[in-house]
Structure formats: C-alpha cells, structure tokens
Amino acid sequence: MSSPDAEYIALTAGAGLVDCSDRTQIEITGDDRAAFLHNLSTAAIKSLQPGQGCEAFALDVRGHTLGHFLVCCMPHSLIIDSVAGENERLAAHFEKYHIRERIEIHDRTAQWGELLLSGAKARILLGSILGRDLPSEPLSHCEARIAEQTAWLRSVEITGSGGVLISANMESISAIAAALVAAGGTRCGGAALETARIEAGWPIFGIDISDKNLPQEVDRNARAISFTKGCYLGQETVARIDALGHVNKTLCGVRFSGNEMPSSGVELRSGDAVVGTVTSATFSPRLSAPLALAYLRRGFNTPGTKLAVPSGDAEVVTLPLS
C-alpha cells in the first residue's frame, strides 16, 4: 500500500490511478437527444460532434444549479458523467421534462465503471499501451482497447491538465486497472484525489455546489455556460446576471497561514465583516499550507486579497495552482 504522499505525487507528477466506479453515468439515446439536453443545460449541446465534449450545469426554473456534469457526444448517444450519487436525481430531472421528444434516458451507473488516470506521465503511459496519442482537447474522447477490453477515454481536468477518465463495462474495470498498474500506474485513494482536485480548483456538486448557487457563482462560465445558445431552462436568470455584469459571490481558492485545516462552513472575514465561507479544504503540498475552496463576496475575491479566519490569516489565490 502506497502512502498518501506517494499517491499525491503519482496523481500530479506521475501516473496515478483512482477507481471512480461510483461516479454517475447516464446515457441519452434517440434522434432528439441533442436538442433535448441543449434545452435543459447551460452548454451548447447541439454544436457537439462525436468525439467532442463539454461541461454543463442543469438548472431549475429559477436558474439555480441542480447539477454540474460532463457531456460526451458519442456517435449514437450523449453521455452525462458526474459525481457519485447524482444518477437517480439527474435522471428524474431529465425525465420530468421528457414529453414528446424521441429520446430514452438510461442510468448506466451500475453497469459502467470508471477509472481516473492522472498526472504528468498519465498520457505517456496510455500511449505506450495503445501505441498512439490521445486527443488532447478538454473533454475530447475516443474508444480504445486496454487488456483486450473496450473502453472510452475522456480527457478531463479534474486534477489539472493531463487527466483521463476511462469508462468501461463494470466487469472490465479490474482487468483495465491491472493493465495500467502493470504499465507503471500507481493505485491512489480518495484523500490524494481530494488534494489534487482542490489544487486544480475542481468543484464537487453536493460539496462546493448546491441548489442554492447560481451557475455564474461557480466561476466556470467559459467552460460550462453558453451565453449565445438561446432559450433553455433557467436561462432568464443567467442572462439577467450576464447583463448585470457580475454575481455577488464567486468560488475561489484561499490559502491559510499555519497548519490548522479549516472545516466546511468556516467564515472568512475582512475586518469585522464576514465576506466568505469555506466549502472544502486540504493540505496543499504545492503551497505547503492549507488550501480551500470558498465562496467570497465581490470585492474580496481578487487574488492577493488578505482575509482572516479564527485560526489566523488567509489569502485569495489563483486556481488551478501552477
């Protein structure tokens, strides 16, 4: 068993492998699939071609976030890929708005497993197995054979650039994982993944995002929101905020002095005023200090801004860490 420090190094500088088979995977099939999801998400789904992908939010009628997910355009379907435990809720949300569209919504979470291969050497390792390079554009994806098993490889930035989600039938996951380890991959656990994803500024729905958030507050506008696609569920609120030019708070990175780890819900202050709240935190090896994701009020969310918590000082930092 490798140590947490060794696992973190593998996930960032090497080729770390995390079993993420509890992640949500939903497949939408049928002729109207692109138009249907286009109308129920913030991304321009109809412009995707097979092999391309995007980030997106699902919103309620008020424009509040109901989900944050990846979308992969397959030749005959769309795959929605999100964090664990969101499959039933997201599938029910989409089914609620399925009226006459020629689509079918399939929850594949129990059928398909998923591995995350991440780190500076992850793509080199995959290339040595496949004998070819992988598509490098964010959320580009392709089919491949690993250990005589069929898999889909999806370029992701969950732990920074260079990560690949490997999706396959659940019964194939063990053989694929074993082949990746035999080729030089290092098995890693959830603690190392949590550190790497916070350093990368990757938010988790249910932890860093909730149905109380507006999508622009998560500060992934360029990646997950199209402001030109036209009408969709919750679009009026998104457009109103865009016309206003700002939201009142955004999700930011915050570095802390000392070694005390801030817990979720800890308030960040400027003078006597509460200006933010921590959502998740880790000890960052790159900073040699605690690092958190936190919602900060406008005017206090600029990198370099000095803040305070009960345990000491804090400073807003840019994520992902370089």
CATH number for position 34 = 3.30.70.1400
Q: Do 127 and 189 have their domain in common?
A: yes
pLDDT computed for residue 133 by the predictor: 87
pLDDT computed for residue 258 by the predictor: 86
pLDDT band of 284, cuts 50, 70, 90? very high
The fraction of the chain above a pLDDT of 90, given in percent, is 93
- The number of distinct structural domains making up the chain is 3
**Position 107 pLDDT exceeds 70:** yes
Q: Do 142 and 74 have their domain in common?
A: no
Please check whether residue 223 lies inside any domain of the structure.
no
Q: Do 159 and 15 have their domain in common?
A: yes
pLDDT tens sequence across 160-208: 888 999 999 999 999 999 999 999 999 999 999 999 999 999 999 999 9
Q: Which of 199, 234, 268 is the last residue of a domain?
A: 199
**Position 1 pLDDT exceeds 70:** no
Q: In what order do the strands lie in the sheet with 24-29?
A: 53-59, 65-73, 77-82, 24-29, 104-107
The reported pTM is 0.96
At 113, which helix (H) or strand (E)?
A: strand 112-118
- Is 140 buried (19+), middle (13-18) or exposed (0-12) by CB count in 10 A? middle
The amino acid present at 302, given as its one-letter code, is T
pLDDT computed for residue 322 by the predictor: 82
pLDDT computed for residue 249 by the predictor: 98
pLDDT tens sequence across 196-239: 999 999 999 999 999 999 999 999 999 999 999 999 999 999 99
pLDDT computed for residue 135 by the predictor: 84
Which structural domain, as residue segments, surrounds residue 126?
4-22+111-199
Q: Do 171 and 286 have their domain in common?
A: no
Please check whether residue 221 lies inside any domain of the structure.
no
Asked whether 146 and 180 are in contact (CB, 8 A), the reply is yes
Q: Do 260 and 299 have their domain in common?
A: yes
pLDDT tens sequence across 87-101: 999 999 999 999 999
pLDDT computed for residue 3 by the predictor: 78
